[in-house]
Amino acid sequence: MSAVKITEGRVSVGMCSQSLFYRQALPSAGEPKLCVLLLHGIRFSSQNWLSIGSLNALAEAGYRALAIDLPGLGESKAAEAPAVVGEPAPAEFLRQVCDGLNTGPVVVISPSLSGMYSLPFLFQHSEQLKAYIPVAPICTDKFKAEQYKAVQVPTLIVYGDQDTQLGEVSLNNLKNLPNHKVVVMQGAGHPCYLDDPVTWHKVVLEFLHTLL
């Protein structure tokens, strides 16, 4: 199998004063099956997805993998965030990101802090989401059960069994999404994907395969 090529770039988003940094991995042959957008938590960046091999694993499985650095973090430090941390951001933000990167119907992987961006997008632009993979995201308590119940997007809820705070709080809200599946990663903490990348890649790729 040919080596996956990972490139770097920047995308302009109307809501941000500066462009956002991203990394991209493409399949070595053929058209990508789907586009997967990887977000990150407050102490992390797209570098984590590169380091644990998620960009490679997705591209090798035939997907277009995009990992962005969120406003104010990583290589996007100069871009001001369009929301207060801990409060939902405008749904328009991720819509502009997806338009700028020409993702088409997208699968969004959203750990921790990035819930402030992905949840408003889920509720207001669900038609642009092929699937949603939340990993103990923040802001789940800012929305009502009825809002969750109205969304039909296929969802894979993932969290570590050692994450007794955000993992359990977020599950309690996210399980109101009617079309969901839950994976609890054993022995893993809040950033469960960092604790056990092998299991993480296995569960994500198995889920993505069900969408095709």
Catalytic residues: 112, 163, 190
Report the distance separating Cα 168 and Cα 186, nearest Å: 14
Report the distance separating Cα 8 and Cα 106, nearest Å: 19
- The sheet with strand 20-26 has its strands ordered as 5-11, 20-26, 64-68, 35-38, 106-111, 129-135, 155-160, 180-185
Report the distance separating Cα 164 and Cα 166, nearest Å: 6
Q: Decide: helix, strand or coil at residue 184.
A: strand
Q: Decide: helix, strand or coil at residue 168.
A: helix
Q: Are 202 and 196 a contacting pair, CB within 8 Å?
A: no
Phi, psi (degrees; rounded to nearest 5) at 175: -70, -5
Which residue type is seen at 166? L
Phi, psi (degrees; rounded to nearest 5) at 75: -85, 5
Report the distance separating Cα 21 and Cα 159, nearest Å: 26
